[in-house]
Structure formats: structure tokens, C-alpha cells
Structure 1
Amino acid sequence: MSLKVILLATDFSTRSDRALRRAAMLAKATGARIVVTHVIDDDQPEKLVSLERQTADTMLREIVGSRAELADIGVSHVVGSGEPFVGIASVALETAADLIIVGSHRRQILRDVFVGTTAERVIRFGEIPVLMVNAEPHAPYARTVAAIDLSDCSKDAVIVADRFGMLEPGRTILLHVFDPAAKGMLSYAGVDAATIERYVSAEENDTKRAIEGFVASAGLDPRAYPVMLKEGRTATVIRETASEIPSLTVIGTNGRSGLLKVLLGSVAEEVLQKAEYDVLVVPPKAPLEAAA
């Protein structure tokens, strides 16, 4: 098991409380230790920064010392500073965290459009997987839906989730959003339904064979992981499938571009913003992938 250090970022809200309980469940299942952090704004007068740091330290100590969920788990705390996403990413590097856990974001549509959620921005500025906890954590994850698109980034996500113990055979479905490229053109050209159906079936078989090779290249047994092929808009299909099968969703990001802005990619970003269940997002070049 490669999950050794979990960084739990808290703003002392109910959302963060859900994240704490999920972090405790994962730590007990894997033997990982937890580092709890709160990030304060250091762009203000020094006396106010000092006061907020002391207050945050006191509250973190209370969490570490009083929460029953954290009993028998190695737990420490760190007060970070700066913008929330920068502070969290910095503490993650300082503590050699394997996974960052955050609570769900406030669904403020205009704010999210312009600045993104904290979870998204942590991923943009770091290389450490992020688990955003949306649902009440009543028990360990019963099911996992791993969204795959046969890319290297998708493979990274599968490898990392497996090493975290989140892709158990019998409890994991590999979801691939299937797009038979010529289907629409054939229909537009007036090709009969039976011919189109045969074409789609052949494309499905080819895709399933490609997925088997993909799974094997990630070090997993293809026979142990059922594949679900669905047609539709990718982000919508992923969210709807996770709702139909209440589960953890695993998704990789599609790389980076730009000198000043790191892009998550529209699919991962939309899934994070609108998901009702927990989402594990693995950025490019996550530490566990590099160690493979």
C-alpha cells in the first residue's frame, strides 16, 4: 500500500468535517498518518496574521486531540499561509503527502466560473492527487467508478487509485464514454439501421479490446474489472453514472498548458464542480506514477 501520508485541509466548516471523517476511514484502512492543515491569509497586518495563526493552531490542536475518529491514528497539524490553494500545495510538499483531502466547495456559480474551486486550484498548482469529499462518509467506499479514456493521464489515475486501495476487484467499474465517430455521418447519409448497428457493435468490440490492453498496461488483471461503455457527453455521463451507482469517481486530468495558468481540462473541471459524490482527481506526474 502506497498511501502513507494524508493531508487534510480544513476551514473548520461542516464540509471539512465530512472530509475529516473520510480521511480517518482511509487512514485506518491503509495505515497512513494524517496531517491536518488550515491556511491563513498572510496578506494583512502582522499582528492580525499572528493572532489568526495562534487561533488556527489552537483549533487544529483541539481537532487532533478531541475527535474520536482520529483515535489510534498518527495525526499532526500544520498552519499554512497564503492563498488557500497555494498554502495547501506548499504544506503537501513540506509533509511529503501522498494525497490531499478537501471538503466540497460552496456552489457559488459566478465565483466558480471566474476563480475555480479550491480543489481545482490545488490540482492546477501541484502534482499530488486530490480527493474532494462531497458525500457523508458512512462507510468505506463500496463502489468505485474509474473514468478512463485510454490516455496516459487516465492510466496514471488508475495506477494511483489502485495503489491507494481504491480499485478493489468486484467493486470497481471502468467507465469509458464511447463515441463511434462515423455513426452520425452514416445516419445522415441514409444508411439503414441494421448496417449502423453492425458498425457500432464492431466499434464496441474494438474499444473493449483496447481497454483490455490499457488495463493490463496499468498492471491490473482485465478479467477482474468490468467495463461499461456509454455514449453521450463525457462529463455528464460520468456524473450520471456516479449518481446511478453511488460511488467514488476516479478521473485523471488531461495535462497542462500556458505559462501562467495550469488547465485541468473541461471534463475533470466540470465533474469536480457538479459531482454529488466523492471524486479523486490525479494530476499529471503524480508522485506515485513517477515512482512506478
Structure 2
Amino acid sequence: MRILVATDFSPRSQRAMRRAGILAGQSGGDVILMHVVDSADTRQSARDIREAQRMTVEQVAVVPELCRVACRSLVVAGCLPDAVLDAATARQADLIVVGAGPGRTVRGLIRAAPCPVLVVIRSVAGPYARVMAPVDLLNASARALRSVASLGLADHACVTVVHAFEPVGKPKLAGFGVPRE
């Protein structure tokens, strides 16, 4: 599995890097650690790219989960989320991993990504042990479940699929003395 991790070097990005490292280790995959430099000034952009390249190499060295897998860095000048989407397509990523961050950027990735997007919210302690998958019985839920299965994201986890619904005749049941519960 080829995993593209978008990072801005923040703590939320570090959570995403750790999750990607764990997933790559479980699947024998590799990680592409990507940073996008947003700069209109070409001279400043070149400096920012060099600094970001140094920082991505440093991240691979200090994030234990990345030390155990094949990991490459990719630093480009561009605009989020387009640069990440282009890189995912060009490098045939199977999964994009990001830390929960600004809503518009993450939503833009999810809507247009050529592959599934995993948004990491919490600290990472190890492989997934329990997974809850809320579904609404629409095609998007079916695609999400197929992606989880095909990528092996929950192979060693206890998976619970949940569908909640409002009973059609609920108001009438109350009229017959059936408790609300």
C-alpha cells in the first residue's frame, strides 16, 4: 500500500504520520511524506522548500513508526488541497492520511481525492483495535466499507457496523401504549 501523508509539521500532522507508519508497517507498504509550500515569492519559496525538505527528513528520523517503513519525502510549491491531490494521482497513492485541521482543506481533499482519505483526530497508540463504522445504507457508505476492507485498515480490529433509523410507525406505537425506549 502506498500512503501519502500531508504534513504541515504540526502536532496534528505528527499524529497522521504515526498512523501512516503503523498502517504501512502492517501492510508492508511505503509512505510518502508530503509538505506543500505556499509562497508567491520565488526566492522565498526556494528557501522554504529547502527548509521543508530538511524537516521532512528529520520527521522520518524522529517518528518511530516511520523509521520502520520505506519512507520518502516530497516537498512542492503549490496550493492546498490541489497539490496534495495532484501528488496522490501522480504517485498512485492508495490512501491519503491527514491530521484533522482546517475544515475547508480536509473537505476539499475528501471530495476530490482519487483514493480514500483517512483523517486522524486522536493520538496514535498502536494499530486499530476497535472500529465503529456508521452507515446510512447509501453508496458512499458501501464504498467506504469496501475501501477499509481492500486496504486492510481494520484487518486485526473488532469492527462494528452501526445503522440507526427512525421507525416508520413510531408515533402510532406510542398510541398503543408501547414505551418510547
TM-score, length basis structure 2 = 0.89
Residue of structure 2 equivalent to 1:171: 158
Distance 1:39 1:150, change over 3 A: same
In the alignment, structure 2 segments of 5+ residues that lack a partner are none
Choose which of 126, 147, 153 in structure 1 pairs with 2:134. 147
CA–CA separation in structure 2 for the residues paired with 1:49 and 1:191: 69
Choose which of 172, 175, 180 in structure 1 pairs with 2:167. 180
CA–CA separation in structure 1 for the residues paired with 2:136 and 2:142: 9
Q: Does the Cα contact within 8 Å between 2:23 and 2:153 map onto a contact in 1?
A: no
Choose which of 33, 37, 59 in structure 1 pairs with 2:34. 37
In the alignment, structure 1 segments of 5+ residues that lack a partner are 107-115, 198-230, 232-292
Matched, 1:72 2:68: yes
Matched, 1:125 2:112: yes
Secondary structure in 2 aligned to 1:193? coil
Residue of structure 1 equivalent to 2:15: 18
AA in 2 matched with 1:124: R
What's the RMSD between the two structures over aligned residues? 2.2
Residue of structure 2 equivalent to 1:59: 55
Q: CA deviation at 1:22?
A: 1.0
Choose which of 70, 89, 92 in structure 2 pairs with 1:93. 89
Q: CA deviation at 1:80?
A: 2.6
Q: CA deviation at 1:98?
A: 0.7
CA–CA separation in structure 2 for the residues paired with 1:52 and 1:79: 10
Secondary structure in 2 aligned to 1:83? coil
Q: Does the Cα contact within 8 Å between 2:129 and 2:157 map onto a contact in 1?
A: no
1:230-266 Cα deviation digits (max 9, x unpaired): x9xxxxxxxxxxxxxxxxxxxxxxxxxxxxxxxxxxx
Distance 1:181 1:127, change over 3 A: farther
Q: CA deviation at 1:136?
A: 1.0
Tell me how many residue pairs correspond in the alignment.
Answer: 181
Task: Choose between structure 1 and 2: higher strand proportion.
Answer: 2
Identity of counterpart residues, as a percentage? 32
Q: CA deviation at 1:18?
A: 1.2
CA–CA separation in structure 2 for the residues paired with 1:21 and 1:170: 18
Q: Does the Cα contact within 8 Å between 1:86 and 1:125 map onto a contact in 2?
A: no
